[in-house]
Structure 1
Amino acid sequence: MTYLAYTGIGSRGTPEHILDIMRKIGGWMFTQGWTLRSGGAKGADSAFEAGVDNALANTLTNGSNHYHPKEIYLPWKGFNNSDSELHPQNLPFTAEEIQLSRQMHPGWHRCGAAARKMHQRNLRQILGHPSVNGDVVQPVKFVVCWTEGGKLIGGTAQALRIAQSCDIPIINFGNTTNTNQVYQMLRRMEEIAHEFKEKLDGSL
């Protein structure tokens, strides 16, 4: 079974007007048949997830037409009070995941145990996990996020480095400074989403 997934992440300090946009994106993408991959953190992660949850609560199908409405990957069980079961107690980090996370982080030697788990979780936000999707597991089609100034900073940077290494398009609202630029980003996101949706529909 084929499905479409995108990553919705960003800084805990994402501005409120961008969080509102992210909630709307989460809801709209759900209605378009997309799966959200995120990490359950405060700020951007929670905004995207709230958008999906609100859309789920207002649909008669309750997401039954989705392979997975959302995949919330946690660094440990109960992170930020999330009830997601996609945590290392159920899905232990593999040696391959740990090695790749180490390779993608320039300051791995400075990271403590908790930070390393966060970065290993970030890997799953982009690449997914076979225990969730089986043989169809694949990288996301694109990433939507906010980092200050559009820079590779904070925990989000690890996920963005992985996305860049896979040539995955990144829509970073941190690169916007006015309303017109925000609209341009939204149009670009819609174009990418429609392009992949048309390819999927054409293959069925």
Structure 2
Amino acid sequence: MTYIDLDQLTSQSGYNLTSDIMLRLIIEQHTMSTNEVIDRLGISKQRLVGLKNQRLLHEIKKGIYSRKEVEMMRMTQEKQNRFKHQKNAYELTPAYRILDPLHVIINKSRFFDCLTMVKHKDSDAVYDLEVSGALKAADDTYKVGGKVYMLQHEEFDHIKHAADLNMSNILKMYTEADFLTFLESTEAQILGLPQTTNYAKVLTSMKANQTP
């Protein structure tokens, strides 16, 4: 087994990170747990075992799978319409919703999942459009003094109108300064956010909005 010196890898990456943070980011961005795979593919544990036995999915370590491999299988299943009649199947879109000109909500899970797909050069352009759409919606909302919220998957699906925001107890509002900090963060660079179509344009626009 090849030994990888994590400290050396971190220092050579060029990112201002500790080796612990680098390891966490690698695990979060490039692997999935058994439950995450089951949720993503909309399958049972028995079906997952079958996929492993057929060598269609490879278990890196007990309960750990390659995110890219799972995402590619997801894309294949979508193309074959295997989820056509599965109402509860996990979908990567919509990743955001414009409630009105002053309120935008972003589905945190879908946003980052779409971003993962953007990093795959052979993935469908719809994912880039979704992330780019979320960025533009946030920028447009900030320009008119509106608010942007980042929500978990379950909460997102229950909010259809601005009035519904008053019923939620787990909202996380992002100010324009918060959003700008995220866009410029090392994490955003590693996630591949600059690869999205309008990243540079939105970043420039938000910086201009921050100028006194």
Q: With structure 1 as the length reference, what TM-score do the two structures score?
A: 0.26
Q: With structure 2 as the length reference, what TM-score do the two structures score?
A: 0.25
Query: Looking at CA atoms only, which structure, 1 or 2, has the larger radius of gyration?
Result: 2
